[in-house]
């Protein structure tokens, strides 16, 4: 369960331990649903879409009361998070804002809205809190390099940092609709590794899984949505039903033909990915 994972996380910095104890108490006393945005980088458009009511109604309340897990193994994203962490000593850090030229972001933070959506979005995002964690031992990390694939043009390891394995941060999004707060966990690791060594190992159910803009170029070569030859979807499909996602999101025009027949089209998150992210009900879990 989630509690088992929470107890394994070790703050990278001693000064964060007391703060982490408070957050742990909140997590362990709640029923947190998990949405996983794989190969996401630091693209926060899914949260912007949630705040502005651009997601299907059946997902809206669930997403607002969930933890978003973002994952990517490109070291540049960790570099940005480390820069934000250092600046938090002086207060909240603005990481995304609207300017006359469009969205501007701190480091690698982005808001990738499909240009064909026609949305005029005016919002600002800040990070109020952050704690980096070490989850795996050095020997486990060494074994991962042999067990999981990665693209050498992007990284030299499926878990690129020796200590910053997971990063918790609290994101505050401000728009004309007011303020919303989103707890986020960024996992700096390859997709299949994230599923096998976190979700499956600690028996954490995934409420919703989505990945956009991957199109066979995710770097891990896991064919993120191909259930015939993709390592990640095959692993998820072979996991216990209780852990499999209730919802699966992708760019239908690219990956729609590769889905199990049991999946049913339930709606779309416009502006997410190329042509929007279609959300399917998997019918794996009620």
Q: What is the pTM of this model?
A: 0.95
User: Whole-angstrom Cα distance, residue 170 to residue 174?
Assistant: 13
Tell me the per-residue pLDDT of 254-282, one tens digit each, with 9 for 90 and over: 888 889 999 999 999 988 998 899 999 99
User: What Rg do the C-alpha atoms of the chain give, in angstroms?
Assistant: 18
pLDDT classification of 221: cutoffs 50, 70, 90: low
Tell me the per-residue pLDDT of 101-153, one tens digit each, with 9 for 90 and over: 778 899 999 998 887 766 667 889 999 999 999 999 999 999 999 999 998 88
User: Whole-angstrom Cα distance, residue 92 to residue 96?
Assistant: 12
pLDDT classification of 27: cutoffs 50, 70, 90: confident
Is residue 286 within 8 A of residue 60, CB to CB? The reply is no
Please indicate, yes or no, if residue 286 is contained in any of the structural domains. no
**Residue 14, C-beta contacts closer than 8 angstroms, at least 6 positions apart:** none
User: Whole-angstrom Cα distance, residue 248 to residue 110?
Assistant: 23
What is the token pair recorded at 197? 């060594």
Checking phi first, is residue 147 left (phi over 0); if not, alpha (psi -120 to 50) or beta? alpha
For residue 25, pLDDT over 90 is answered with no
- Mean pLDDT value across residues 33-47: 94
Please indicate, yes or no, if residue 24 is contained in any of the structural domains. yes
Please indicate, yes or no, if residue 186 is contained in any of the structural domains. yes
Domain count, the chain: 1
pLDDT of residue 119: 66
Other residues' Cβ atoms within 10 Å of the Cβ of residue 268: 18
Please indicate, yes or no, if residue 14 is contained in any of the structural domains. yes
pLDDT of residue 215: 63
Please indicate, yes or no, if residue 145 is contained in any of the structural domains. yes
Show the domain range for 70: 2-281
Please indicate, yes or no, if residue 126 is contained in any of the structural domains. yes
Report DSSP state, residue 16: G
pLDDT of residue 218: 47
Is residue 192 within 8 A of residue 76, CB to CB? The reply is no
Across the chain, what does the average pLDDT equal? 91
% of the chain residues with pLDDT over 90: 67
Please indicate, yes or no, if residue 76 is contained in any of the structural domains. yes
For residue 61, pLDDT over 50 is answered with yes
């Amino acid at each position: 369960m989630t509690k088992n994972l929470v107890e394994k996380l070790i703050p990278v910095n001693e000064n964060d331990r007391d703060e982490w104890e408070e957050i742990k108490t909140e997590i362990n006393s709640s029923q947190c649903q998990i949405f996983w945005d794989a190969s996401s980088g630091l693209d926060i458009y899914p949260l912007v879409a949630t705040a502005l009511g651009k997601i299907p109604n059946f997902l809206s309340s669930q997403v607002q009361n969930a933890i978003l897990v973002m994952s990517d193994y490109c070291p540049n994203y960790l570099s940005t998070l480390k820069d934000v962490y250092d600046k938090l000593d002086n207060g909240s850090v603005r990481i995304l804002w609207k300017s006359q030229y469009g969205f501007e972001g701190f480091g690698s933070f982005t808001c990738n809205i499909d240009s064909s959506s026609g949305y005029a979005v005016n919002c600002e995002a800040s990070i109020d809190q952050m704690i980096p964690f070490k989850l795996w031992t050095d020997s486990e990390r060494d074994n991962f390099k042999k067990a999981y694939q990665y693209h050498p043009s992007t990284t030299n390891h499926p878990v690129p940092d020796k200590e910053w394995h997971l990063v918790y941060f609290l994101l505050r999004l401000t728009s004309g609709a007011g303020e919303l707060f989103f707890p986020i966990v960024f996992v700096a690791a390859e997709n299949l590794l994230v599923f096998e060594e976190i979700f499956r190992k600690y028996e954490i159910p995934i409420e919703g899984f989505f990945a956009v803009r991957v199109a066979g170029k995710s770097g891990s070569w896991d064919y993120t949505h191909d259930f015939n030859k993709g390592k990640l979807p095959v692993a998820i499909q072979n996991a216990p039903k209780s852990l499999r996602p209730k919802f699966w999101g992708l760019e239908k025009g690219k990956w729609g033909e590769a889905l199990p027949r049991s999946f049913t089209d339930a709606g779309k998150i416009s502006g997410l990915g190329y042509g929007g992210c279609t959300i399917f009900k998997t019918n794996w879990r009620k």
